[in-house]
């Protein structure tokens, strides 16, 4: 009798282990099926979102599709882990606590990523636009998850965190009509203003290759006192990066011709 009992326990143990293994494999298979179903569901929802929303707002549809994919996959993972024998409530608590700790530790990173999504959705500028942010002027060469990268007219690369861009004023100087620059010129009040204006307009016309087609130069008097008159030559140029070079050329030509007027007078 004792020998039979001793032989029975090893056999029972082996059978119990096999049962546990088969149960674990069954749960693991269910976990895999749940993930596949969640993946397929996320794709279907993404297609529906794009069908309903994509035509009117492609960028908004992409954001909604991405968010729905994350949400459905997270739900699938939680349900799948529950099938493996883990308590869903405990999993939710762990995920919540972990999410809070992660958000605190990566708040700057998450802020920039969220700002990137806001920039993509609102579309205040695009690659190639000339923008000004907090006194920094440059051409947008890239928009990453963390930074917006500008190339200044001096060929300096500037990395501006996306979180700062969404909290400040952005001036987009890229318009269909080009970018207007103002070149200040100060002349003696004794000069004939009509003649000075004619000279400045001629200089602006000579630089027509730099100007937007059909854009005519203009001259404005910005201030007048007893000794001098401050004028401004307004030019609408194609390439904002050449603004300083064009202004410099205007000043050199104006200096040369105004000196002739001074000598003649």
Assign 3-class secondary structure to 31-46.
HHHHHHHHHHHHHHHH
Identify whether residues 7 and 69 lie together within a single domain.
yes
Between CA 31 and CA 261 the distance in angstroms is 89
pLDDT-derived band at 2 (thresholds 50, 70, 90) equals very low
Identify whether residues 8 and 96 lie together within a single domain.
yes
Identify whether residues 136 and 157 lie together within a single domain.
yes
Identify whether residues 6 and 92 lie together within a single domain.
yes
Residue 118 lies in a domain: no
Identify whether residues 55 and 148 lie together within a single domain.
no
Please identify, among 172, 195, 211, the residue that sits at the C-terminal boundary of a domain.
172
pLDDT of res. 39: 86
Residue 115 lies in a domain: no
pLDDT of res. 98: 57
Give the residue, 220 or 261, on which the prediction is more confident: 220
Reading the block at residue 226, the tokens are 């007893």
235 beta partners: 181
We report the CATH number of the domain holding residue 196 as 3.30.70.100
Identify whether residues 73 and 140 lie together within a single domain.
no
The residue with tokens 């609408």 is 236
Between CA 93 and CA 252 the distance in angstroms is 71
Identify whether residues 14 and 100 lie together within a single domain.
yes
Identify whether residues 36 and 95 lie together within a single domain.
yes
Average pLDDT, the chain: 76
CB 240 within 8 A of CB 175: no
CB-CB neighbours of 253 under 10 Å: 17
pTM above 0.85, yes or no: no
Between CA 245 and CA 225 the distance in angstroms is 29
pLDDT of res. 175: 67
pLDDT of res. 74: 78
Identify whether residues 217 and 138 lie together within a single domain.
no
CB 246 within 8 A of CB 206: no
Residue count (the chain): 265
CA 114 to each of CA 53, 58, 181: distance values in angstroms, whole numbers, following the listed order: 21, 18, 35
Residue 113 lies in a domain: no
Q: Judge whether residue 57 has pLDDT over 70.
A: no
Identify whether residues 62 and 131 lie together within a single domain.
no
Between CA 74 and CA 80 the distance in angstroms is 10
Q: What is the tally of structural domains in the chain? A: 3
Identify whether residues 163 and 245 lie together within a single domain.
no
Reading the block at residue 99, the tokens are 């999410």
Range of the domain at 131: 124-172
Identify whether residues 132 and 200 lie together within a single domain.
no
């Amino acid at each position: 009798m004792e020998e039979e009992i001793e032989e029975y326990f090893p056999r029972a143990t082996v059978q119990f282990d096999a049962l546990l293994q088969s149960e674990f494999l069954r749960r693991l298979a269910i976990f895999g099926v749940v993930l596949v179903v969640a993946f397929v569901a996320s794709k279907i929802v993404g297609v529906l979102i794009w069908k309903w929303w994509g035509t009117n707002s492609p960028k908004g549809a992409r954001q909604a599709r991405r968010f729905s994919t994350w949400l459905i996959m997270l739900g699938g993972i939680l349900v799948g882990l529950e099938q493996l024998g883990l308590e869903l409530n405990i999993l939710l608590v762990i995920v919540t606590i972990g999410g809070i700790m992660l958000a605190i530790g990566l708040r700057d990173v998450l802020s920039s990523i969220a700002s990137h999504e806001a920039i993509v959705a609102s579309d205040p500028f695009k690659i190639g636009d000339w923008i000004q942010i907090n006194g920094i002027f440059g051409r947008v060469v890239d928009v990453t998850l963390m930074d917006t990268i500008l190339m200044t007219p001096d060929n300096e690369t500037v990395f501006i965190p996306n979180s700062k861009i969404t909290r400040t004023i952005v001036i987009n100087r890229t318009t269909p009509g080009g970018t207007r620059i103002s070149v200040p010129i100060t002349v003696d009040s004794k000069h004939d203003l009509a003649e000075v204006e004619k000279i400045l307009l001629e200089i602006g016309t000579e630089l027509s290759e730099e100007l937007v087609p059909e854009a005519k130069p203009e001259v404005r008097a910005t201030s007048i006192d007893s000794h001098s008159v401050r004028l401004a030559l307004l030019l609408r140029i194609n390439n904002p990066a050449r603004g300083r070079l064009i202004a410099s050329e205007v000043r050199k030509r104006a200096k040369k011709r105004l000196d002739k007027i001074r000598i003649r007078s």
